[in-house]
């Protein structure tokens, strides 16, 4: 690399030296890489060669930061949850990603990737979505920039997430049903990958989580790393220190967790807790707790932990929360788990639902059910009176109202 | 460099017709009779698809056949069991085409060893990239005498094609166009130019064209410059409609 590029820092910083960051070849320890059919090689390779350079350009960073500020509404508040802190006798801060435009952290990544796609000269955007949050965030930035947008969504998810399907359509996106396999998120991802194979020249694929072939996990993590960057600055202002004692985030594929953990990865005094969805219980056969139930394998272009049969067929996970309902975790998280850097916990549907309702009543905030999993950690772990615990409130609960209504017979 | 049935077949002075089918489809127990029927109908080489839950390089026809095969109970062990005595009746080259995850779970070395024991000649693993293969698995494949076949596409730069050619052993699988399997019914000028371009590179490995070959016309165009062609989706559709007994009819319609 030339001296001029060296002196410029990409979004997320030059942190990529520590043991928990991605290597030159795209690995986090033994996880990661790019296990892709040759048909995808030119696209993925182009991205790999250019993403850090583009993310280092002052004009790119300026445009990204301006949109995050004026359009998304960042910085999102770091809110001291007083009543919750009193209840659990510790110091709880909530990182309010739920207050972002479109209601979740997903928009941080789609803003970054749409600008990336433009720099690469792409004119057409594809994305996968499960519950529809990433689909809406993608459709939003496509409307913002006037790009053609196709979102793949499992046929079953289309039926159960009608409001988000309507939102995407209003925003001008075409929602294409994934009819293959189990017709949910993993199949929507397969369909998006097939679309990219069929449209290799004009199309950019905006992956919504910290998964996929290198450089996607690192790129998505860097765009989301604004979360932990802000936490440090906000904590310094409010507590006089940059590092909390704990950071807690829910994890499906792991994009909000990756962003929440990123600037603390090399800060060994910060304990990292990742909360998976146990569904109806780890041993129930209906769960999404990948760190417990998964084995090393290949999913959607990377080597990571994933839920599969003994024979290597990928299985369908279950969680009441559609955003945690993914059979793998991002390769960075697999490495954090395997190395012991992060502690993984699994929270059941019922514990998450209770924690969600409790946040409504203690703090006046209706959380997304994904985020409720992270909030449930306080029922399972006792923190010290003076400990500072930052929880990522990754999204708001509007999209989950029907689930809350059914569950609590409201 | 291994010498097996693939290399011998490629020495023959003819255009190679290779057929892909999904093991365990339409019925679990059909695998061996499909292989025997195809051989007896004059097909030169076979690709046996090991079904996978998430075949991301495949179009709807092969996806559906894979889903059905898995429902039928096809597994890696079951396939090896079915193929145990295949060399008693079948002498044409046999290649297993499968995604990397099931192979990884079986154990790459154990998988290679089993293939060698049965008499499989090569593997096509579309999501095992050439650089990972070269670094981690090439010596294993060689130890068990297995050819590993890589894909190239119209978007693959010449330099990378030469790299793939240098690592390949057997033939190069030329994907006809930017698409998943099963997409086209005719070839246009763009494909023809691509076939010419690859021919002009004078690679050490012969090329066999796949994806979008469905009839005599596309077979003829594809093999004008290449050594042979592979038919997958069109055969699976035929099998679905007409059944195993009609296989000779399909093969005769191609050449």
Residue A11 lies in a domain: no
- Long-range contacts for A279-283 (Cβ within 8 Å, ≥24 apart)? A279/A317, A279/A318, A279/A319, A279/A320, A279/A348, A279/A349, A280/A318, A280/A348, A280/A349, A281/A348, A282/A346
- Whether residue B7 lies inside any domain: the answer is no
Q: Which residue has the tokens 């990522």?
A: A392
Beta strands in A74-142 (DSSP E): 78-80, 91-96, 124-129
A394 is a catalytic site residue: yes
- The answer as to whether B1 is a domain residue is no
Same structural domain, A241 and A382? yes
Q: Is residue A201 domain-shared with residue A332, that is, in the same domain? A: no
In terms of domains, do A275 and A234 share one? Answer: yes
For A35, the closest chain B residue by CA position comes to B127
**Measured between alpha carbons, how far apart are the two ends of chain A, in Å?**
60
Q: Are residues A168 and A273 in the same domain?
A: no
- In chain A, residues with a C-beta closer than 8 Å to the C-beta of B132 are 33, 35
Domain span at residue A46 reads 35-69+106-219
A159 and A245 within one domain: no
**B178/A197 touch (CB, cutoff 8 Å), yes or no:** yes
Contacts of A3 by beta carbon, 8 Å cutoff, 6+ apart:
none
What's the total number of domains in chain B? 1
Q: Under an 8 A CB cutoff, do A311 and B103 touch?
A: no
**Could you tell me if residue B224 is inside a domain?**
yes
- A38 to B59: CB separation less than 8 angstroms, yes or no: no
A191 and A54 both lie in a single domain: yes
- Show the beta-strand stretches assigned E in A236-368: 246-250, 271-279, 295-299, 302-306, 342-348
Longest CA–CA span in chain B (Å) reads: 45
**What does the pLDDT read at residue B179?**
81
Residues of A whose CB is below 8 A from B126: 37-38
Note whether residue B2 is domain-resident: no
The reply to whether A154 falls in a domain is yes
pLDDT reported for residue B167: 95
**Residue whose pair of structure tokens reads 């839920």 in the numeric block:** A307
Residue B115 confidence (pLDDT): 98
Partner B, chain A 302-331, Cβ-Cβ below 8 Å:
308, 310-315
Q: Is A71 on the interface with B (CB under 8 A)?
A: no
For position B1, what pLDDT does the model report? 45
How many Cβ pairs closer than 8 A exist between chain A and B?
A: 114
Task: With respect to residue A25, please indicate whether it lies within any of the assigned structural domains.
Answer: no
At residue A121, the pLDDT reads 97
Residues 217-246 of A with CB under 8 A from B: none
Q: Residues of B with CB below 8 A from A307's CB?
A: none
Is there a contact between B106 and A312 if contact means CB atoms under 8 Å apart?
Answer: yes
Distances A355 to A252, A370, B178 between C-alpha atoms, Å: 18, 11, 48
Residues of chain A neighbouring B58 (CB-CB closer than 8 A): 194
C-alpha–C-alpha distance, residues B70 and A125, integer Å: 33
Is A163 among the domain residues? Answer: yes
**Which tens digit of pLDDT belongs to each residue from A267-310?**
999 999 999 999 999 999 999 999 999 999 999 999 999 999 99
User: Total domain count for chain A?
Assistant: 2
Domain containing A64 — which CATH number?
Answer: 3.40.50.1100
Chain B interface residues facing chain A, Cβ-Cβ under 8 Å? 52-60, 63-64, 67, 70, 75-77, 99-106, 126-130, 132, 150-153, 155-157, 160, 164, 175, 178-180, 183
**A92 and A44 within one domain:** no
Using CA atoms, how far apart are residues A67 and A294, in angstroms rounded to an integer?
38
CATH number, domain containing residue B22: 3.20.20.70
What distance in Å separates residue B187's CA from the closest CA in chain A? Answer: 15
Helices (H) and strands (E) in chain A, counts: 17, 14
Q: Is A280 a catalytic residue?
A: no
Q: Report CA A282 to chain centroid distance, whole Å.
A: 22
List chain B residues with CB under 8 Å of A187. Answer: 54
* A136 and A158 assigned to the same domain: yes
- Residue range(s) defining the domain that contains residue B73: 15-254
**Domain check: are A198 and A133 in the same one?**
yes
Q: How far is A315 from chain B (nearest CA, A)?
A: 8
For the full predicted model, state whether its pTM sits above 0.90.
yes
Asked if residue A190 belongs to a domain, the reply is yes
pLDDT in tens, chain A (410 residues): 333 444 578 999 875 567 899 999 999 999 999 999 999 999 999 999 999 999 999 999 999 999 999 999 999 999 999 999 999 999 999 999 999 999 999 999 999 999 999 999 999 999 999 989 999 999 999 999 999 999 999 998 898 888 999 999 999 999 999 988 778 899 999 999 999 999 989 999 999 999 999 999 999 999 999 999 999 999 999 999 999 999 999 999 999 999 999 999 999 999 999 999 999 999 999 999 999 999 999 999 999 999 999 999 999 999 999 889 899 999 999 999 999 999 999 999 999 999 999 999 999 999 999 999 999 999 999 999 999 999 999 999 999 999 999 999 99
Catalytic residue among A95, A106, A122, A399: A106
pLDDT value at position B224?
93
A 188-217 → B contacts, CB under 8 A: 190, 193-194, 197-201
Among candidate residues A390, A396, A322, A394, the one with its CA nearest the CA of residue A365: A396
- List the single residue in B64, B160, B180 with the smallest CB-CB distance to A198: B180
Q: Is residue A290 part of a domain?
A: yes
Residue A160: per-residue pLDDT: 80
User: Are A243 and A334 contained in the same domain?
Assistant: yes
ipTM at complex level: 0.94
Which residues in chain B are closer than 8 Å to A36, comparing Cβ atoms?
127, 129
**Residues A39, B155: C-beta atoms closer than 8 Å:** yes
Of A76, A85, A122, A128, catalytic: A128
> pLDDT tens string for chain B (255 positions)?
456 899 999 999 999 999 999 999 999 999 999 999 999 999 999 999 999 999 999 999 999 999 999 999 999 999 999 999 999 999 999 999 999 999 999 999 999 999 999 999 999 999 999 999 999 999 999 999 999 999 999 999 999 999 999 999 999 999 998 788 876 667 888 888 999 999 999 999 999 999 989 999 999 999 999 999 999 999 999 999 999 999 999 999 998
Whether A368 maps to a domain, the answer reads yes
Within the 37-66 window of chain A, which residues sit less than 8 Å (CB to CB) from chain B?
37-39, 41-42
Q: Are residues A265 and A356 in the same domain?
A: yes
Residues 6+ apart with CB under 8 A from A305: A31, A290, A291, A294, A295, A296, A297, A328, A329, A334, A337
Instruction: Check whether residue A268 and residue A305 sit in a common domain.
Output: yes
Q: How far is A128 from chain B (nearest CA, A)?
A: 14
Quote the minimal CA–CA distance from A331 to chain B in Å: 15
Contact A312 B156 (CB under 8 A): no
- Of B47, B85, B131, B165, the catalytic one is B47
Phi, psi (degrees; rounded to nearest 5) at B47: -115, 120
Which residue, of A219, A248, A269, is where some domain finishes?
A: A219
Which of A191, A219, A247 is at the close of a domain?
A219
**Contact assignment for A310 to B179 by CB distance below 8 Å:** no
Contact A258, A227 (CB under 8 A): no
Asked, for residue A133, whether it belongs to a domain, the answer is yes
Q: What is the pLDDT of residue A4?
A: 42
């Amino acid at each position: 690399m030339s001296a001029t590029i060296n002196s410029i820092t990409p979004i997320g910083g030059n942190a990529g030296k520590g043991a928990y960051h991605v290597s030159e070849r795209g690995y986090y320890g033994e996880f990661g890489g790019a296990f892709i059919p040759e048909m995808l090689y030119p696209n993925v390779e182009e991205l790999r060669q250019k993403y850090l350079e583009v993310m280092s350009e002052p004009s790119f960073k300026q445009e990204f930061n301006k949109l995050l500020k004026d359009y998304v509404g960042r910085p999102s508040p770091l809110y001291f949850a007083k009543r919750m802190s009193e209840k659990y006798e510790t110091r709880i801060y909530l990182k309010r990603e739920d207050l972002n435009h479109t209601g979740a952290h997903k928009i941080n990544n789609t803003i970054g990737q749409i600008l990336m796609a433009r720099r690469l000269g792409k004119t057409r955007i594809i994305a996968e979505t499960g519950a529809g949050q990433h689909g809406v965030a993608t459709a939003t930035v496509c409307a913002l920039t006037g790009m053609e947008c196709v979102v793949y969504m499992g046929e079953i998810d289309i039926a159960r997430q009608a409001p988000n399907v309507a939102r995407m359509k209003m925003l001008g996106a075409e929602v294409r049903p994934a009819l293959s396999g189990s017709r949910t998120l993993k199949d929507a991802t397969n369909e998006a990958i097939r679309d990219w194979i069929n449209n290799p020249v004009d199309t950019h694929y905006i992956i919504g989580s910290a998964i996929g072939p290198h450089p996607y996990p690192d790129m998505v993590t860097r765009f989301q790393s604004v979360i932990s960057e802000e936490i440090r600055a906000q904590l310094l202002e409010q507590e006089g220190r940059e590092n909390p004692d704990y950071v807690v985030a829910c994890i499906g594929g792991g994009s909000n967790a990756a962003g929440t953990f990123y600037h603390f990865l090399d800060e060994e005094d910060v304990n990292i807790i990742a909360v998976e969805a146990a569904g109806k219980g780890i041993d129930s056969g209906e769960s999404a707790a990948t760190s417990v139930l998964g084995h090393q394998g290949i999913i959607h272009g990377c080597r990571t932990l994933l839920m599969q049969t003994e024979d290597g067929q990928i299985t369908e996970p279950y969680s009441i929360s559609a955003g945690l309902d993914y059979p793998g975790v991002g390769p960075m998280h697999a490495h954090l788990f395997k190395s012991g850097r992060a502690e993984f916990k699994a929270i059941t549907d019922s514990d998450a639902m209770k924690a969600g309702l409790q946040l409504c009543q203690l703090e006046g905030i209706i959380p997304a059910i994904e985020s409720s999993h992270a909030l449930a950690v306080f029922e399972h772990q006792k923190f010290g009176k003076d400990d500072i615990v930052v929880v990522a409130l990754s999204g708001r609960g509007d999209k989950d109202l029907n689930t809350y209504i059914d569950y609590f017979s409201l | 460099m291994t010498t097996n049935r693939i290399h011998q077949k490629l020495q023959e002075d003819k255009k190679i017709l290779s057929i892909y089918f999904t093991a365990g489809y339409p019925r679990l127990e059909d695998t061996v009779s499909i292989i025997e029927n195809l051989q007896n109908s004059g097909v030169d080489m076979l690709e046996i698809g090991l079904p996978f839950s998430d075949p991301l390089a495949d179009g709807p026809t092969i996806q559906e056949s894979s889903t059905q095969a898995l429902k039928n109970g096809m597994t890696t062990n079951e396939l090896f069991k079915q193929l145990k005595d295949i060399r008693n009746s079948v002498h044409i080259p046999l290649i297993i085409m499968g995604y990397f995850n099931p192979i990884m779970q079986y154990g790459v070395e154990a998988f290679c060893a089993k293939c060698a024991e049965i008499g499989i000649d090569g593997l096509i693993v579309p999501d095992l990239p050439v650089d990972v293969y070269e670094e981690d698995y090439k010596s294993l494949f060689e130890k068990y005498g297995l050819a590993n076949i890589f894909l190239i596409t119209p978007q693959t730069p010449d330099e990378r094609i030469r790299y793939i050619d240098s690592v390949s052993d057997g033939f190069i699988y030329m994907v006809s166009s930017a698409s998943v399997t099963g997409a086209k019914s005719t070839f246009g000028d763009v494909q023809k130019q691509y076939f010419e371009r690859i021919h002009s590179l004078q690679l050490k490995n012969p090329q066999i064209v796949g994806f979008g070959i469905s009839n005599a016309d596309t077979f003829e165009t594809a093999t004008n410059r290449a050594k042979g062609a592979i038919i997958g989706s069109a055969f699976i559709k035929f099998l679905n409609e007409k059944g195993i007994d009609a296989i000779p009819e399909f093969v005769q319609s191609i050449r």
